[in-house]
Amino acid sequence: MKYIIQNKKSNYYQEITKIIKTKAKEIFQFFNSKEVPLTTTIYIYNDIASLVQGLKERGYLQNPDYMCACFKDEDNSLNFFEPKEKPNDNEWSKEEYEKVIFHELVHAIQYNLFGSAPEWLCEGIAKYLDGSYSKGIKWLLENRLDKKPIPNQDEIENEFGMHEYNSYDYAYLMVCYLIETLGKEEFINLLKNNNKLNSTKTNLLSKAIEYYKQK
């Protein structure tokens, strides 16, 4: 891995390196893979505004408003900013940001092992691993998804994050369903085989919601 750091005097890269070294093994184990060296470049910007501006200068013009970090498979890069030592209530603390770093690391390792994949699949896997949905699927269905129109499959696949609903909820649900019904090994095989993935994803969201409602 190579670091490109906006603030040359900062040592925040050491904290990121520590998280990567501590968490990478867990992610490789999920993917049923031995650990391999990552060729990812890691950019660290001073703040969120600098992160957004830096990405624009590098040619990434369309990023969601909620973005605070990202993995770009276009250049195999992890992109972070350095949280303040004493953040305000509406700002990221370094402790909170650790989960963000882990989430983006999942994307980087998946890409380095299997190459590019649909956004819903990448985000669903990262959410499956990062603990965001610790309250469980029953809670998710009852409190965030019930009584809402189900997005169509094409919308989730081609317009991820572009609507008022939370696309991550549905991505997580689909990945949980695949892992639970196919088994972990067969799920990992989907990441290696686009034809299998394409045949499996037909009406996947509707199937996942119906499956968990019946449970």
Taken in order 157, 159, 163, 166, the sign of the CA dihedral is: positive
Q: Residue 66: its pLDDT value, please?
A: 84
User: φ, ψ for residue 91 (rounded to 5)?
Assistant: -115, 160
Q: What is the pLDDT of residues 183-199, one digit of tens each?
A: 999 999 999 998 899 99
Same domain membership, residue 131 and residue 83: no
CB 64 within 8 A of CB 161: yes
Same domain membership, residue 97 and residue 9: yes
Give mean pLDDT, residues 149-172: 91
pTM equals 0.95
Domain boundary among 61, 84, 114: 114
Same domain membership, residue 130 and residue 85: no
Same domain membership, residue 162 and residue 104: no
Taken in order 86, 90, 91, 93, the sign of the CA dihedral is: positive
**Containing structural domain, residue 97:** 2-114
CA-to-CA separations, 129 to 134, 139, 172, 210, in angstroms, rounded: 10, 18, 10, 23
Looking at every residue in the chain, the average pLDDT score rounds to: 94
Same domain membership, residue 143 and residue 92: no
Q: What is the CATH number of the domain that holds 14?
A: 3.40.30.160
CA atoms within 13 A on the CB side of 189: 8
Same domain membership, residue 134 and residue 110: no
Q: Is residue 5 pLDDT above 90, yes or no?
A: yes
Distance CA 215, CA 209 (A): 10
Confidence label for 161 from pLDDT (cuts 50, 70 and 90): confident
User: φ, ψ for residue 81 (rounded to 5)?
Assistant: -125, 170
Domain boundary among 87, 114, 141: 114
Q: Residue 143: its pLDDT value, please?
A: 92
Same domain membership, residue 128 and residue 195: yes
- Domain tally for the chain? 2
Q: Residue 194: its pLDDT value, please?
A: 87
Same domain membership, residue 143 and residue 179: yes
Same domain membership, residue 97 and residue 124: no
Burial of 67 (0-12, 13-18, 19+ CB in 10 A): middle
Q: Is residue 88 pLDDT above 90, yes or no?
A: yes
Same domain membership, residue 150 and residue 59: no
**Host H or E run for residue 70:** strand 70-72
DSSP 147: T
Domain boundary among 53, 87, 114: 114
Q: Is residue 70 pLDDT above 90, yes or no?
A: yes
Q: What is the pLDDT of residues 94-133, one digit of tens each?
A: 999 999 999 999 999 999 999 999 999 999 999 999 999 9
**Which residues are within 8 A (CB) of 161 and not within 5 positions of it... i.e. 6 or more apart?**
64, 119, 167, 168
Q: Residue 61: its pLDDT value, please?
A: 87
Same domain membership, residue 192 and residue 92: no
Q: Residue 146: its pLDDT value, please?
A: 84
Same domain membership, residue 73 and residue 126: no
